[in-house]
Structure 1
Amino acid sequence: MVASAFAASVAESALTGPGAGGFILVRPPDGPAVVHDAFAAAPGLGPGGRRLRPEMLDAFTVPFGDAEQVFHIGPASVAVPGFYRGLFEVWEHHGRLPLSDLVQPAVALAIEGVVLSPEVSYLHTILREMLTWTPGAAAIYAPGGALLGTGDRLRMPRLAETLTELARTGCSALDVGGWLSSRLVDGLTPLGGLVTADDIAAYRVIPRTPWEVAFRGHRVLTNPPPSSGGVLIGAALATMDARPATADPIARACAMVDAGHRANGLRCEEFVERLGEPGFTDWFRERLGRGDGGSPSRGPAGTTHVSVIDADGMIASTSSSNGAGSGVVIDDLGFLLNNMLGEEDLNPGGFGRVEPGRRLTSMMAPTVILTPDGHPRVVIGSAGSNRLRSAILQTTVNILDGGMDGIDAVEAPRLHVEGGGVDVEGGVPEPVVQALDASGYALRRWGGMNLFFGGVNAVGRESTGLWGAGDPRRGGAAAAVNHRGEVIALSPRP
């Protein structure tokens, strides 16, 4: 998992990397599951600390085909990153290979370059403004003046140098006074960035107990407060679990949309304010029992997810994100920094309102599904802003309620409910569309498969063996790897 995350820093460099925040859910075969909270924190600690003002941000509109989303970027949008601290911590607790062995494949990718797939090229196209906003970013993503496209090779030699040095120095590089954190602060400050040395000194990876919910006799473990994505997925699953399972795909789809709508409605202003505070769990479960309703807001778009299961039963599910990216690359480091302070969904009280040092909330929801006797069955997570909740919910329901195999469950056309409307991906059966329309939902129909509907990556274990599924919406992939690190062909069906 750690090696895959390093490699993703190159293969999906717009979405993740040393400048990202993330969550890593790990469950060893002989111990409890733990979520390592390595998400972004609000900066501004110390005597020189400054608070964000909205006028410090630049706004850009990103088109998703039939939908749009506004993002706010620039040096002042950068929150304190923590994802690589989380990777180092997980490696220190559970790693078996030397750190240099885990970093080397990513270094080779950064030097040789990655050939851009159609899916990644499309993502870069819609994020063009962020990826060319500064000369440092443009040098990576548009080195000849034009944005690299499908079939072009994206090279990141300075990131290769950064990763090589990280492998040599280890996590001390990320500590206050460490070479990487010092360059980050020194590079950001003159540009108007808000991250201080005191922010770096105060940052810690926080171990958390996963949020747990029962669904069809299984235990679903996911990201707990102060993040909201896992809690809302759990609420939708709990709503469905209170009703009998159905073999009718139309009834099942309508029940899932209704459950998603009810869960979304729980995300009111008080929900956001109480997240992470003592007593939240009791308050939330009481609201869930009442069936309260409302309307959610949107979240960040740029997330990478990796799911891993090994022969010994060790499982890991990790989601990380740059948000939409700040547009800022510190030239001698060679990677894009996050824009978490400019994400409307992570700052529900308005920009600059989160107290320095406090964790931002997130929709990311790395998730593990255990059988009734406690064995791992599915390891799952998704990219896709607020749509990732619908993607994880629907894939889980497809497997546990619909009896689909993992690959079919990931590739099945999706529905996303928000407010009183439902986005309908191309390929959803017409009887399902008609039933939703008759239920009074405002429908927005899409012409085909689209990354708007998330990017689920999942692995699992069935009686016939292991399976893996990468979401074609975002160029996802699955592979089996032996103990020597060699990739083995993975059966297309479990």
Structure 2
Amino acid sequence: MTYAVATGHALTTEAAEQILRAGGSAVDACIAAACTAFVAEPVLAQPLGGGFLMLAPGAGAPHVLDAFVQTPRRRRPEGELDLATITVDFGTATQDFHIGAGTVATPTLIPALFEAHDRHGRMPWADLVAHAAQHARAGVTVTAFQAEVAGLVAPILTADADVSALCAPGGKPAAEGTVQCNPQLADVLEVLAAEGPRFFTEGEVGQGLTALPGSHLTGEDLRHARHAWRPALTLRRQGHDIALNPPPSLGGVQIALALSALPRAPRPVLVARALAEVARLRADLDIDRQPDRAGALLLDPDRVAHLRRLLASHTPALRGTTHISVIAADGSGAALSLSNGEGCGRLIPGTGIQPNNMLGEEDLSPDGPVGWVPDRRLASMMCPTAMRGDDGTLTLLGSGGSNRIRSALATTLLALVDAGLPPDAAVAAPRMHVENGNLSFEGLGADGRREALLAEWPQATVWDRPAMYFGGVHIARRDRRGGVQAAGDPRRAGAAASG
């Protein structure tokens, strides 16, 4: 047996590994890992959030299951909504977030995972939720990283008495080493395994979600919301076929544009220029408000050619997410990215579940928490990725990190493909990100690369060590001989296993 797993938490990895050792498929392992992430990574992943599943079968083209959220079918008057604005202090900057039941978008994650299981699963759901339920009851020891994440969103975790009682007893998020239990979530997962997705769309969980005071959601939203299968967005680079998340997701198309325009083994300063130009085009072309056209707008051959010329000659003047990568013994792979936004700061009674706040996310709803168009799929930066080399090597990867996902994956793909680095070295390679014309990058040593970046971006923010700001890329790889490798990103306490 050969398998590889990389996730954002040791228990999440353990859940997938147990399923793979028992003969489960890559999709089985992803589902088990996701259920455990709901318990062990509760700020980053929840059952009523959203996600994307990249499937890379042993034979055939990769495809993506879009299990992200969509806007409600009807919008309630603003005066009837439960809305609040809180400010999160990131140390070097502050950011406002919108929370409350009025920011909850319609989830499709759970029905989507059941359909993925129907098509590609082998083990019963009861087995897939068992690890998560066990640890939800016995308790999970809070890690340093999870404590840091909870500390950042403390105003959300303490905005409501019920949420505070579960996540921040005494009014403070749980410190490292604290054991946190969520027995109600354990019950929910076990009932879900027995009753199926209708428990979430029409049963007690769905009824509890639509009964939250001040929410847009109705039973009609939950019954009619649909996940979607889509062909992957593919590109060819240096002997590798790279499969990315297609529109209306926005991350994959931006990564594709940057990689299509960059030459082989580009210098960091050139990568920074590409990231800056892609970010500018995203704003100038207003693709956030027309995500279905993102591919046509950004990947037009003339635009790619123009960006190549620009990179060769021009000097510019210048949300919570987790990821699971799995390769199974049969050579198939799956990569699942999950997000709950920051959470809406409300709890569904009796479930231990905090729904998403995607309608309050500026990246997803640029016109604000009441300015969205009804019954539309929201865009996302999440981009689970599959890559197959001409030698038969299969690599699955993805990242958390909100807007930084696109740059985290672009720089890691360059390290894997152009530099030929193994997964652990590619994950450790320095990263950069450009936002609103401002460059941030991890220190690049004393070989002149740092100085070249600062010459063009003198106001750049330089991070002296790897930081969770730059995402958390988790990689699983299998070569044509069956050899496996896995790498979890230490920036976000990643955990990897292979066997």
TM-score normalised by the shorter chain: which range applies? 0.7 to 0.9
Q: Which amino acid aligns with 1:338?
A: N
Q: Work out the CA distance in 1 between the residues paired with 2:89 and 2:238.
A: 38
Matching residue within 233, 237, 240 for 2:255: 233
Q: Which amino acid aligns with 1:216?
A: Q
1:435-486 deviation digits (Å, cap 9, x = unpaired) = 1112345311224332111111111124672111111111110123xxxxxx
> Match for residue 46 of structure 2?
17
Q: CA deviation at 1:326?
A: 0.9
Q: CA deviation at 1:336?
A: 1.4
Q: Work out the CA distance in 1 between the residues paired with 2:152 and 2:280.
A: 30
Root-mean-square deviation (Å): 2.3
Q: CA deviation at 1:148?
A: 0.9
Matched, 1:351 2:369: yes
Moved more, 343-352 or 452-461: 343-352
* Contact in 1 for aligned 2:65/2:227 (Cα 8 Å): yes
Moved more, 73-82 or 411-420: 411-420
> Match for residue 298 of structure 1?
none
Per the normalisation by structure 2, the TM-score is: 0.87
Moved more, 133-142 or 115-124: 133-142
Matched, 1:287 2:280: no
> Match for residue 181 of structure 1?
206
Q: Work out the CA distance in 1 between the residues paired with 2:136 and 2:444.
A: 37
1:88-114 deviation digits (Å, cap 9, x = unpaired) = 111111001011000000001101111
Matching residue within 279, 284, 287 for 1:264: 279
Q: Work out the CA distance in 1 between the residues paired with 2:374 and 2:476.
A: 37
Matching residue within 156, 164, 169 for 2:195: 169
Q: Work out the CA distance in 2 between the residues paired with 1:180 and 1:468.
A: 36
Q: CA deviation at 1:266?
A: 1.8
* Contact in 1 for aligned 2:288/2:364 (Cα 8 Å): no
Matching residue within 403, 407, 415 for 2:432: 415
> Match for residue 142 of structure 1?
168
* Contact in 2 for aligned 1:354/1:360 (Cα 8 Å): no
Q: Work out the CA distance in 2 between the residues paired with 1:279 and 1:367.
A: 17
Q: CA deviation at 1:262?
A: 2.1
Q: CA deviation at 1:214?
A: 1.6
Structure 2 gaps, min length 5: 1-29, 311-318
Moved more, 419-428 or 154-163: 419-428
Q: Work out the CA distance in 2 between the residues paired with 1:278 and 1:134.
A: 38
Moved more, 133-142 or 118-127: 133-142
* Contact in 1 for aligned 2:46/2:354 (Cα 8 Å): yes
Distance 1:283 1:368, change over 3 A: closer
* Contact in 2 for aligned 1:23/1:86 (Cα 8 Å): no
> Match for residue 292 of structure 2?
276
Per the normalisation by structure 1, the TM-score is: 0.88
Q: CA deviation at 1:352?
A: 2.5
Q: Which amino acid aligns with 2:64?
A: V
Q: Work out the CA distance in 1 between the residues paired with 2:424 and 2:199.
A: 40
* Contact in 1 for aligned 2:253/2:299 (Cα 8 Å): no
Q: CA deviation at 1:362?
A: 0.5
Give the 3-state SS of the residue equivalent to 2:282 in structure 1: coil
Matched, 1:29 2:55: no
Give the 3-state SS of the residue equivalent to 2:495 in structure 1: coil
Q: Work out the CA distance in 2 between the residues paired with 1:387 and 1:477.
A: 20
Q: Equivalent pairs: percent with the same residue?
A: 37
Matched, 1:102 2:128: yes
Q: CA deviation at 1:144?
A: 4.2
Give the 3-state SS of the residue equivalent to 1:322 in structure 2: strand
Q: Work out the CA distance in 2 between the residues paired with 1:213 and 1:53.
A: 47
Q: Work out the CA distance in 1 between the residues paired with 2:441 and 2:195.
A: 49
Q: Work out the CA distance in 2 between the residues paired with 1:383 and 1:11.
A: 16
Distance 1:219 1:157, change over 3 A: same
Q: Which amino acid aligns with 1:211?
A: L
1:28-53 deviation digits (Å, cap 9, x = unpaired) = 213332211110111143xxx52657
Residue correspondence of structure 1 range 475-486 to structure 2 within 5 A: 475-480=493-498
Q: CA deviation at 1:428?
A: 5.0
Matched, 1:381 2:406: no
Matching residue within 54, 60, 65 for 2:91: 65
Q: Work out the CA distance in 2 between the residues paired with 1:99 and 1:133.
A: 34
Q: Work out the CA distance in 1 between the residues paired with 2:428 and 2:299.
A: 36
Of structures 1 and 2, the one scoring higher in RCO (CA 8 A, sep 6+) is: 2
* Contact in 1 for aligned 2:257/2:298 (Cα 8 Å): no
Q: Which amino acid aligns with 1:180?
A: V
Structure 1 gaps, min length 5: 294-300, 481-487, 489-494
1:121-154 deviation digits (Å, cap 9, x = unpaired) = 1000111011121122111112344321101111
Q: CA deviation at 1:22?
A: 0.8
Q: CA deviation at 1:78?
A: 0.7
